[in-house]
Amino acid sequence: MAQSKPYIISFSSGKGGVGKTTVAVNLGLSLSQSTNRVLLIDGDLGLANVDVVLGLSVRHTIRETVQEGRALSDTLIRITKDFFVLPASSGVPEMTRLSVQEQELLLGALEEDAREFDYVLVDTAAGIGESVLWFNNWVGSHCIIFSPDPTSLTDAYALIKVLTTRYGKDNFYLIVNQVNSGREGQEIFVNMERVLSQFLDIHPQYLGAIPRDNAVVRAIRKQRPFLETEPGSKAGRALCRVCDNLVEALRV
């Protein structure tokens, strides 16, 4: 069933270090290049990373909305004409354990601001902690990013199992990152899909694979999106295909 705008999508992984934030940032940029208004929310409320990946100097964060009532719109950072980021705080442990009231306040404010955008991406923390679960409960679609590493496969599967079993979620899109080839990504997806289908009766959609590429490493060191620094790289081209597939999957 086609969803309506704004499309609100989480980016989660289970395991950390699989490139979730890098993919989310570059996908956000890619979506905005097609004249979509895109908001990327840093959902890692206690250990933010989006600002680091983008080399931003952040003055205000989501923390001030939750703790001081500051308007989210005053915290937004404009990256390009149509790409905005809502940064979170780093080194603030209390932000990882918001009360139900604080969650409601934050999600209410986010819902208000989301109306101004075509796509709202939520880059969640790694793991299956509270904020990962309630952010995922809020959104309608879930991008799960994982690598060929067995620990990453297990953690991604465990996250999907929790979201399915506890929250009745079934709208999953899978991205395999850091693969050696497109074929490897496809085979890993097919295997994951088979296990999800067999044990959870879940049928995720495949958005594609992004290869290991030094262009990504170089961009991370420059604190810039690889889609901006080396758009013609293997990773850049793969990311654009993933973006096209995501747009199509959400539209259909």
Partner 1 sequence: MAPRKKAEALFEKLEEDAVQYPVEYIRLTDGKDWWQGVLCYDTSIPDARKNFLIATFARLSGHETEGKKNSLARKDSCQVSPEERAQLFSFLKSGAE
CA distance 59 to 89: 10
Q: Which stretch binds partner 1 (CB under 8 A): 109-117, 182-190, 217-225, 238-246?
A: 182-190
Of 28-36, 56-64, 132-140, 211-219: span binding partner 1 (CB under 8 A):
132-140
Q: Per CB under 8 A, does 183 bind partner 1?
A: no
Does residue number 81 form part of the binding site for partner 1 (CB under 8 A)?
no
Q: Which of 5, 161, 224, 234 binds partner 1 (CB under 8 A)?
A: 161
Does 130 interact with partner 1 (rule: CB under 8 A)?
Answer: yes
Work out which of 165, 181, 214, 223 binds partner 1, going by CB under 8 A: 165
Q: Which stretch binds partner 1 (CB under 8 A): 18-26, 32-40, 127-135, 224-232?
A: 127-135
Of the chain, the end-to-end C-alpha distance in Å amounts to: 7
User: Is 144 a residue that touches partner 1 (CB under 8 A)?
Assistant: no
Give the C-alpha separation, 250 to 7, whole Å: 8
CB-nearer residue toward partner 1: 103 or 245: 103
**Closest CB to partner 1 among residues 34, 99:** 99
